[in-house]
């Protein structure tokens, strides 16, 4: 018997608790969330849902899983594609050098100068590995007078 993937398991669990049409925005009450989490936990414990890495707190994991798919699954978020709020904000979280520099920074007895050097090394490393995010400016949202004073014009 094949296991259900997590996205499908969350969708099915939510569908079993509340009635909605695909592409609706699904908002659950505290009790409904608790019920869905219980269904998911039972599915994981019965080995019916894929779980790549063992979890120490399945209830907490399922709460996060539910929130994740309520945001990302277009069948439950109003049909809109998920957009990361702060792209690149977690840059460095998986980088060994950043992790070790942060551990070094926690070492007892460091001077302010030494901490500043470590912070500088972290910033330098982040500049190397952080993805470049290009933000577009909508000139239509900026007052014409300000644009004119800057020598810019709306295209």
Residue 88 confidence (pLDDT): 62
Q: Give the integer Cα–Cα distance in Å for 40 and 13.
A: 7
pLDDT score recorded for residue 153:
73
Q: Is this prediction's pTM over 0.75?
A: no
Q: How confident is the model over 112-132, as pLDDT tens digits?
A: 999 999 999 988 988 888 766
Mean pLDDT, residues 18-31 taken together: 95
Q: HSE, CB side, 13 Å, CA atoms: give it for residue 141.
A: 3
Half-sphere exposure of 153 (CA within 13 A, CB side): 1
Buried b or exposed e, range 94-103, using 16+ CB within 10 angstroms: ebeebeebee
Q: Are 76 and 11 in contact (CB under 8 A)?
A: yes
CA dihedral (139, 142, 148, 153) in degrees, to 10, reads 10
pLDDT at 89 over 70: no
3-class SS of residue 25: strand
Structure tokens at 128: 């190397």
Q: What is the mean pLDDT of the chain?
A: 89
Mean pLDDT of 32-59: 95
pLDDT class of 133 with cuts at 50, 70, 90: low
Rg (CA), the chain: 23
Domains of the chain: which residue ranges?
Answer: 6-72, 86-155
Residue 26 CA, chain-centre distance (Å), reads 18
* Cα-to-chain-centroid distance, residue 105: 26
CA–CA distance, 23 with 29 (Å, rounded to integer) = 19
């Amino acid at each position: 018997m094949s296991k259900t993937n997590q996205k499908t398991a969350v969708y099915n669990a939510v569908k079993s608790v509340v009635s909605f049409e695909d592409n609706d925005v699904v908002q659950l009450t505290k009790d409904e969330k608790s019920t869905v989490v219980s269904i998911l936990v039972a599915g994981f414990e019965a080995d019916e849902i894929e779980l790549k890495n063992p979890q120490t707190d399945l209830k907490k994991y399922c709460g996060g899983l539910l929130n994740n798919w309520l945001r990302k699954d277009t069948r439950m978020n109003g049909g809109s594609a998920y957009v990361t709020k702060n792209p690149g904000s977690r840059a460095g979280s998986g980088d060994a050098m950043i992790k070790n520099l942060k551990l070094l920074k926690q070492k007892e007895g460091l001077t302010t100068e030494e901490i500043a050097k470590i912070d500088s090394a972290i910033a330098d490393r982040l500049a190397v590995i952080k993805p470049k995010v290009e933000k577009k400016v909508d000139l239509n949202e900026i007052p014409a007078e300000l644009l004119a004073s800057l020598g810019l014009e709306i295209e």
